[in-house]
Amino acid sequence: MVFVPIAAQVGLSPFYLERLFKQETSETPRAYLVNIRIDKAAHLLKFTTMTNLEICYEVGFRSPSNFYKVFRNIKNCSPSEYRKELQNELV
């Protein structure tokens, strides 16, 4: 659970803190974090020459296959396709 250390610091139950987070953001903490990671990956794909594998680890994924799967689910294309589309837009 994402909130265990934070909940301990503020004296709340991790489950209650997660529920408060979801009420405020309409997302679970895990979904929120994944979206931040994929947004950062998209930024790196656009503005760097880092490889997809380097980006995968840079944004906090432990498994390249999981990174590719999550990226595709959120962006509706693979990281390579995303970068290629950006390059085509610049031409």
The full set of domains in the chain, from first to last, is 28-90 (1.10.10.60)
pLDDT by position in tens, the chain (length 91): 667 888 889 898 999 989 999 999 999 988 999 999 999 999 999 999 999 999 999 999 999 999 999 999 999 999 999 999 987 776 5
29-47 helix and 14-25 helix, angle to the nearest 10 degrees: 60
pTM: predicted TM-score of the whole model, two decimal places: 0.84
Q: Are residues 10 and 21 in contact, defined by beta-carbon separation less than 8 angstroms?
A: no
